[in-house]
Amino acid sequence: MKKRHLKAVFAMFLLAGGVLAGCSNTEKTATTEKKEETKTEKTKQVEEEKQEINYGEAFKEAVTELAKAKEGQNVDFDKVMTIYTTKLQPLVQKRDAELQETIDQHITTVLNAGKDGSMDKVVVEQIFDKLMQKVFYTTIKQEFAEIEENWDNKDAVKEEVEEAKEFYKILQSTVEKRDAAYGTTLVDTINGGFSEIESAVEKGDTLAFAFGKQVIDKTLMKTFYLATGALPYGYATKAAAEAKKNAEEAKVEQAEGWAFYQSIYPYMKKYAAAEADYILKQFDLQTDVKTLDPEAINKAFVRGLTKVALNEYEESEENLGQDKSAVTALEGALFIDMIGSDIKTLLGDQAFTTLNDQAQKYLEAAKAKNKEEGEKLLSQIRATLQTVIEKAK
């Protein structure tokens, strides 16, 4: 892929975001009433479409067509664009509006770039695939939010649980690939999370629902981490190794890493901006793939995710004595698990076992609203996590 083409495409990405950000206050004020008038109608329309469209089939059809590029076959970009605009785009735009993101502009840009030949068609397929996976992931999170909003309506909640499961089915093959590569049991963990949610709905147990939701969310996030920055099978490692043999093929894997990373980046950016931005820069297609440093990327992930875990524990401590403390305690434990193999490498198996035990004991203390025991365990957990950060520099 020619460097000038890459720069042009990413310039379009930046321009798309800039145009949205550059609206004047006057323009926003002038259109506010119109937006409010159409908001309810659009929401209703999207919800109706959600019921009618089989997103999994539409996604598979589009990716299958795009994947022809791998075999050197012609890709019918008009067909892909029709599938996208008629079936997938409304969902993407809805998530963009909620999360203040520009995934739709990214997808539209790369499809056009694939059609006019300014971007490698295999790269287009990978970016489309992974960005759509992000949309399905964030849609699962939105379904969980709707469950919380409609908790007293059990029929509606059960329907939303089923919808979340349908969106997860689209992502399940990605999870299965990580399990096969790393010997993990992510699929079983996610299935267990859904079972916990279904049981919680039947019992009306909001805390159990919150636990199940976090298990699913953070296990999917772990999936994306294993796919991008984990050693030795993340795309950072794959792209760096391939760059020594074939820079063009390496660019494809760099693109896969970039697109997968979009599901993690916003979360990491909140609590570990330096690490988050470093990783983003490494995966950026304007970065020479031959300069990718998988070990540095991995260490940035470890530092960043450890900082996220520390933030969860800080929030848990602030809420000790409340249910929210137990939920954020679970999140902290899940982020520790996310980089468990890395912690073992840095500190040794015994240190990780001890840390994991402390995280589980702290979770139980938070559940029991035992402040004294909780604070004692937190000081130990924090000390170990700070050591992880230092070792990962």
Q: Does position 384 have pLDDT exceeding 50, yes or no?
A: yes
Q: Does position 11 have pLDDT exceeding 80, yes or no?
A: no
Q: Does position 283 have pLDDT exceeding 80, yes or no?
A: yes
Q: Does position 147 have pLDDT exceeding 50, yes or no?
A: yes
- Least confident among 33-47, 53-67, 146-160: 33-47
More confident residue, 28 or 173: 173
Q: Does position 8 have pLDDT exceeding 50, yes or no?
A: no
* Residue type at position 82: T
Give residue 268's pLDDT band: very low, low, confident or very high (50, 70, 90): very high
Q: Does position 351 have pLDDT exceeding 90, yes or no?
A: yes
Give tens-digit pLDDT for 148-168. Answer: 999 999 999 999 999 999 999
More confident residue, 87 or 10: 87
Give residue 261's pLDDT band: very low, low, confident or very high (50, 70, 90): very high
> What pLDDT sits at residue 31?
41
Residue from 256, 263, 319, 310 nearest 141 by CA? 263
Q: Above pLDDT 70, what percent of the chain? A: 87
> What pLDDT sits at residue 51?
54
Residues 6+ apart with CB under 8 A from 163: 50, 143
Give residue 17's pLDDT band: very low, low, confident or very high (50, 70, 90): very low
> What pLDDT sits at residue 233?
97
Q: Above pLDDT 90, what percent of the chain? A: 87
Measured CA to CA in angstroms, residue 257 lies from 1, 103, 209, 265, 375 at distances of: 17, 16, 32, 12, 39
More confident residue, 273 or 21: 273
Q: Does position 4 have pLDDT exceeding 60, yes or no?
A: no
> What pLDDT sits at residue 24?
30
Q: Does position 206 have pLDDT exceeding 90, yes or no?
A: yes
> What pLDDT sits at residue 1?
43
Query: Mapping DSSP to helix (H, G, I), strand (E, B) and coil, where does residue 199 land?
Result: helix
Q: Give the span between the Cα atoms of 366 and 320, in whole angstroms.
A: 6
More confident residue, 188 or 26: 188
Give tens-digit pLDDT for 166-205. Answer: 999 999 999 999 999 999 999 999 999 999 999 999 999 9
| Inter-residue long-range contacts of 189-195, CB under 8 Å, 24+ positions, other chains counted | 189/215, 189/219, 190/215, 190/216, 190/219, 190/220, 193/219, 194/161, 194/164, 194/165, 194/168
- The residue behind tokens 């994991």 is 356
Pair 127, 101: CB distance under 8 Å: no
Mean predicted lDDT score pLDDT of the chain: 90
Pair 208, 199: CB distance under 8 Å: yes
Q: Does position 372 have pLDDT exceeding 80, yes or no?
A: yes
Give tens-digit pLDDT for 325-347. Answer: 999 999 999 999 999 999 999 99
> What pLDDT sits at residue 52?
78
Give residue 21's pLDDT band: very low, low, confident or very high (50, 70, 90): very low
Q: Does position 308 have pLDDT exceeding 70, yes or no?
A: yes
Q: Does position 16 have pLDDT exceeding 90, yes or no?
A: no
